Amino acid sequence: MLYDAIIIGGGACGLMCAAQAGLLGKRVLLLEKNDKVGAKILISGGGRCNFTNTGTSLENFVSDNPHFLNTAFSLWTVEDTIDFFRNFGQIEGEEKTLGQLFPRSNKAKDIVHVFTKLLYETGQDIWLNTEAKSVVKEGDTYVLTAIRDGREQKLQTRKLVFASGGLPVAKLGASDFALRIAKQFGLSVIPTAPALVPLTITGKDERWYAELAGNTIFSRVYNDRISFEENILFTHWGLSGPAILQISSYWRPGENFFINLLPHADIGDLIKNERIIGGKRTIGQLLQPYFSKKIVDSLGKYLPIHLKIASLSKSDALLIAETVHKFKVKPAGDKGYDKAEVMRGGIATTELDPRTLESKKNKGLYFGGEAVDITGWLGGYNFQWAWASGFLIAQDL
Ligand SMILES: Cc1cc2nc3c(=O)[nH]c(=O)nc-3n(C[C@H](O)[C@H](O)[C@H](O)COP(=O)(O)OP(=O)(O)OC[C@H]3O[C@@H](n4cnc5c(N)ncnc54)[C@H](O)[C@@H]3O)c2cc1C
């Protein structure tokens, strides 16, 4: 056996794992089904790659067991991510918003370059256009069958790393490989679903949303478990924008959530103050400083926007407060894995050693990155987990 380990997947986790293994003097073989590594990194953050978040904490992750991350994030911190890219790629992080760090060059390819350079310098092998197909155990080794440039290859190894990601975006190489092999080896998998994904609206309200397509509102989107304050974006089929992507990770089919369209003012107070000065303005006029004309007009479907404030009844005022601060949304569904940034669910953390991410049941099998039941919020958290998991695994190869 030529290699200390074989890593399946040349994305964020696999690249970090191979690079760290190289720095430790180990030799690995990295298999990637695409014709290049880091396809998702390259398009991430709109091509700029939001590579970590300075505010990373367990609260920013959805998982059956977020505390699993305690160990990973104590062994590989946000500072470690920042230092890594600074030391090996002269990349300085620039904070755009809410702790989100991007390379100052604004080029995601600079991030990928750090890895290709390190892998080259440490003599690691990369096989592109190579798709891992199946794994069987023979004695204390694993035999991996892969198709490389159309030809079947059998590879034997004692340590096999699954860094093949999750289900989102098939055209970027996504596959169910890690989940399928995990199940084959008896690991439990938390049910998966698209996350950080736009949500669709159908039925009687569909046209109302479609007519507002392209408009954004800074809002607080919330349910009984969580809230996010960012923009929402109306689309022809429903809702998108950062606040919607965030809540989508917590939304389950059939559930509602609410939008506070005016999170930094109280419509009840605005009405009260307007009454004091005579209440001559209409509800539409009262809302105009806060929303575009198009949005105010469209709120007319739900509110008496032409009514003068002086003549509002108590129930009108209640309806207005409810609509503005507690706008109810019942999505029909989500836009699916091809529009999702990440996958929720995955290999149960209880199956893995938190220090090494080795399967507790199967010595020599390691699982990292998005395939595991750790899903970050929007904002660089998913890469922080991918880097951390790649680092952890590399220490044990
Ligand atoms: C549009 C978009 C934008 C994003 N932007 C950000 C962002 O700015 N910040 C952030 O933190 N997160 C972002 N994410 C999420 C982030 O990209 C993922 O969480 C992260 O890439 C997961 O890393 P991974 O290594 O587990 O998987 P991936 O990066 O997906 O890598 C898995 C690799 O395995 C390969 N593979 C799969 N199956 C096989 C197989 N059978 N054989 C061989 N190779 C295989 C795939 O081709 C792929 O290259 C974004 C995601 C999307 C879709």
Which pair of structure tokens corresponds to residue 183? 């199940």
Which of 365, 363, 357 has its CA nearest to residue 390?
A: 357
Residue 1: partners with Cβ closer than 8 Å, 6 or more residues away: 141, 156, 157, 158
Q: What's the gap in Å between 41 CA and the centre of ligand 1? A: 7
- Report the nearest-CA residue for atom 39 of ligand 1: 164
Q: DSSP secondary structure string, 181-208?
A: HHHHTT--EEEEEEES--EE--GGGHHH
Q: What is the mean pLDDT of residues 24-44?
A: 98
Question: What pLDDT does residue 164 have?
Answer: 98
User: Distance, CA 237 to ligand 1 centroid (Å)?
Assistant: 26
| CATH number of the structural domain 199-334 | 2.40.30.10
Q: What pLDDT does 97 receive?
A: 86
What is the pLDDT, as a whole number, of residue 1?
A: 60
pLDDT at 2: 83
Tell me which residue of 374, 390, 358 sits closest to 185, measured CA to CA: 358
| CB-count exposure of residue 109 (10 Å: 0-12, 13-18, 19+) | middle
CA 375/CA 309 separation, integer angstroms? 46
Which atom belonging to ligand 1 lies closest to the Cα atom of 14?
A: 25
CATH of domain 5-193+343-395: 3.50.50.60
Report which ligand 1 atom has the smallest distance to the Cα of 340: 53
- C-beta 168 within 6 A of ligand 1: yes
Question: Average pLDDT of the chain?
Answer: 97
H or E element in which residue 220 lies: strand 216-222
Computed over its alpha carbons, how large is the radius of gyration of the chain?
25
CA of 34 to the centre of ligand 1 (A): 12
Ligand 1 centroid to Cα of residue 12, in Å, is 6
Query: pLDDT tens digits for 250-266?
Result: 999 999 999 999 999 99
The separation between CA 352 and the C-alpha centre of its own chain, rounded to angstroms, equals 21
Determine which residue's CA is closest to atom 29 belonging to ligand 1.
Answer: 11
Mutate to test the pocket of ligand 1, among 382, 384, 387, 391 (most ligand atoms within 8 A of CB): 382
Average the pLDDT over 228-241 and give the result. Answer: 97
Half-sphere exposure of 37 (CA within 13 A, CB side): 29
65-69, 204-208, 292-296, 351-355: range with lowest mean pLDDT:
204-208
One DSSP character per residue, 26-91 reads: --EEEE-SSSSS-HHHHHHHHHT---EETT--GGGEE-S-GGGHHHHHHHS-HHHHHHHHHHHH-P
Give the global pTM: 0.97
Domain residue limits, the chain = 5-193+343-395, 199-334
What amino acid is encoded at 261 in this protein?
Answer: L
Backbone phi and psi for residue 31, each to the nearest 5 degrees, phi listed first: -105, 130
